[in-house]
Amino acid sequence: MPILQILEFPDPKLRKKAEPVTVFDEKLKVLIADMLETMYQAEGIGLAATQVDVHKRLLLIDISENRDSPQVFINPEIEVLESELSEYDEGCLSVPGFYETVSRPRMVKITAQDSKGEKFEKVAEDILATCIQHEIDHLDGKLFVDYLSILKRQRIRSKLEKDHKKSA
Ligand code: QAP
Ligand code: CO
């Protein structure tokens, strides 16, 4: 199965807003399979379609130790259940090599559809809640670096731009 190319910050394509998925067909299943393969080979815990330049509201998460429990969320909506925030050192496959602390609501309820279009709800806490919020941000064109100081964000941008020039 093909490994998809992951866009990297500051690529402007990462800023596009994704459109709802309306067709739950074989093509969607192939995309999910390719994205899973891509996430596992890159050793990520989460991947949004935006990151592989597909601007549809679809994301994957696998926070399991054995990397064998993928969760697929299509057209996810989020409701904050607790005003309490939790802090995590976040990274991103689109911002390779950088980890920074971000605060987000600790507990959220997600309403989404599965690969068959079936609606489901899930309450997520801690790392799963953080990860889902991080991935939904991608679908809205947002990145974790947007929560950092301008200085930190610019340092990350310069470093990655240098890397991209070298490999171009
Ligand atoms: C989002 O990120 C996340 O820099 C998922 O060199 C991460 O899977 C949410 C990765 C942490 C909450 C906490 C990053 C792999 C993977 C890198 C990822 C890298 C290799 C990031
Ligand atoms: Co990310």
Return the amino acid letter for 111. Answer: T
Question: 97 C-alpha vs ligand 2 centroid, how far in Å?
Answer: 12
Quick one: pLDDT at residue 168? 81
Question: 118 C-alpha vs ligand 2 centroid, how far in Å?
Answer: 25
Kindly report, residue by residue over 106-139, the tens digit of the pLDDT: 999 999 999 999 999 999 999 999 999 999 999 9
Pick the atom of ligand 1 nearest to 44's CA: 8
CA distance 125 to 109: 9
